[in-house]
Amino acid sequence: MEQNARPLDTLNQARGKTVLVDLKNGTRFVGKLRAFDIHINTVLEDAEESKNGEVSRKLGTVFIRGDTITIISPA
C-alpha cells in the first residue's frame, strides 16, 4: 500500500467501470463512472436507480450532486 494514496485516486481508477453510488436519502445508483470532481459531483452512464432494493428507474446518463452522496464503490 502506498503511503500517500489519496481518496480521489480510487475514484480515478474506477473511471469507465461500473460503480454503485449511495445517496443520503437512501437511493442507490448503479452505472458506469464517467466523471467526478473534487466536490464528488459524479456522472454515471447507463445508470439504474433503486430504492429499497428494487430498480425504480433506468436513467441513462445522470449527474449526481456530490454533497448528496455517502459512498461510491466499484461493483
Residues forming contacts to a second copy in the complex (CB under 8 A) are: 1, 3, 5-11, 15-16, 23-25, 27, 32, 34-37, 40-43, 47, 59-74
Closest separation in Å from C-beta 66 to a second copy: 7
The grid coordinates listed for 37 are: 470532481
The CA-based dihedral angle spanning residues 64, 51, 15, 38, taken in that order and rounded to the nearest 10 degrees: 30
Closest separation in Å from C-beta 53 to a second copy: 11
Q: Which is nearer to a second copy, 32 or 50 (CB)?
A: 32
Q: Which is nearer to a second copy, 34 or 50 (CB)?
A: 34
Closest separation in Å from C-beta 18 to a second copy: 12
For 46, the enclosing helix (H) or strand (E) is strand 42-51
